[in-house]
């Protein structure tokens, strides 16, 4: 399975292309919001989400039928950006399950700023914004 091509279909909100990556009985879990979707519900949630999107795969690890991928996603107008981590289970080249976690990009919380701990990742550690 070409995970980068899958993510490009997701970012383009390309319903027919997304559908081709899934088994009909697959399910998708978004743990941050405690939601479980069928393939058709996932496609609706993704393709009816407002705005135009872009993004890039930042990291990909595959072990047999298990794929872990970290993706940076942003609106084309630059107003919002997110990082998503997906754990996919693949069977015969198609997705049968996804556990996905989304986080909105932003500033560290005030309590950590006050402690003066941490360094921006973009300062030489690979994940530039």
* pLDDT band at residue 58 using 50, 70 and 90 as cut-offs: very high
Report, as an integer, the average pLDDT of 18-27. 98
* DSSP H stretches of helix in 13-124: 15-20, 39-47, 110-115
Q: Which CATH class is domain 3-115?
A: alpha beta
> Measured between alpha carbons, how far is 129 from 42 in angstroms, rounded to an integer?
27
pTM of the complete model: 0.87
Give the per-residue pLDDT at 129.
Answer: 42
Report, as an integer, the average pLDDT of 84-106. 97
């Amino acid at each position: 399975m070409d995970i980068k091509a899958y993510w490009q279909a997701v970012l383009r909100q390309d319903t027919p292309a997304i559908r081709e990556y899934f088994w009909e009985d697959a399910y998708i879990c978004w743990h941050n919001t405690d939601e479980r979707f069928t393939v058709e519900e996932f496609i609706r949630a993704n393709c009816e989400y407002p705005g135009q999107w872009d993004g890039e795969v930042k990291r990909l690890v595959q072990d047999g039928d298990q794929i872990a991928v970290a993706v940076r996603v942003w609106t084309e107008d630059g107003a919002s950006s997110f990082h998503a981590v997906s754990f996919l289970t693949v069977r015969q080249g198609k997705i049968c399950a996804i556990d996905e976690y989304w986080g909105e990009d932003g500033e560290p919380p005030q309590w950590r700023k006050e402690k003066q701990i941490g360094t921006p990742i973009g300062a030489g550690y690979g994940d530039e914004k």
